[in-house]
Amino acid sequence: MILLRNIAFVAVFYPVSTVMALLAPVIALGGRQAVIHWATSWTRFHRLCTRWILGIRVVVEGDIPTTPVLYPAKHQAMFETMELQRMLGAPAMVLKRELANIPLWGWAVRKYGAIVVDRNASARAMRGMMRDAKVAVGEGRAIMIFPEGTRVKPGETPPLKPGFAGLYRMLNLPVVPVATDSGRVWPRKGLKRPGVVTLRFGETIPPGLPRAEAEARVHAAINALESRPVRSAEVAGSQA
């Protein structure tokens, strides 16, 4: 049954996603709001496919702010990149430069308002990231970053990359860390499995803290689910 779910997901989600990605540059000609609406439609489609084909449910713990904040999130699977875009009202996401350099599609990503970061973390790259982030905040949008820099396996807790500290210092925004355990049902390799993904929104961390304290609190909060037992769809509580 799990294999059949995966085959059905690939057969439905990826062909539609390919068409939407190819059309994104055309949609982006209509401006930022047009491409944001297009991206949100895509993530809503992703949610329908993961829920009703793969059997993946979502449990949300904690409160989601209604004002712009900086969201540093755990990154274990593609799942949370899509789900958080939909759930958080199209935040400006920090993305690696390789994605923004894809012809045409990368242009649409920039029109969406993505914040492009160079993994080499040069001073010029950091200045560009800060400039784009300030523009997004000026538009009333939240900022989302995966501060560990890349996807990690469940149980891995690498240190934060410098990009988070730079954004935290320059934007002066409250921080709401997001923990997830998506990698337990959506492994980097192998079949995706039915089950429950938890998204835990941690306590708000105020701006202006010393870098070491802010990083320590964020690191602990985004990794808060690492020791939790796997939850099945049948035994989970409040779900979406």
Which DSSP state fits 147?
A: T
Query: Which pair of tokens denotes residue 142?
Result: 């939240």
Residue-wise pLDDT tens digits, 178-222: 999 999 999 988 999 999 999 999 999 999 999 999 999 999 999
Predicted pLDDT at 95 = 84
Whether 33 shows a pLDDT value over 70: the answer reads: yes
Query: Which pair of tokens denotes residue 227?
Result: 């020791």
Residue-wise pLDDT tens digits, 43-66: 999 999 999 999 999 999 999 998
CB 77 within 8 A of CB 186: yes
Measured in degrees and rounded to the nearest 5, phi and psi for residue 200 equal -105, 120
What is the average per-residue pLDDT within 108-117?
85
The residues facing 200 across adjacent strands are 61, 179
Q: Which of 89-98, 115-124, 162-171 has the lowest mean pLDDT?
A: 115-124
62: left (phi over 0), alpha (psi -120 to 50) or beta: left
pLDDT over 90, % of the chain: 68
Whether 14 shows a pLDDT value over 50: the answer reads: yes
Please, what are the domains in the chain? 2-222 (3.40.1130)
Q: Which residue has the higher pLDDT, 51 or 228?
A: 51
Residue-wise pLDDT tens digits, 143-168: 999 999 889 999 999 999 888 998 99
Strand order in the sheet with 56-61: 56-61, 195-201, 178-180
Whether 106 shows a pLDDT value over 90: the answer reads: no
Question: pTM here?
Answer: 0.89
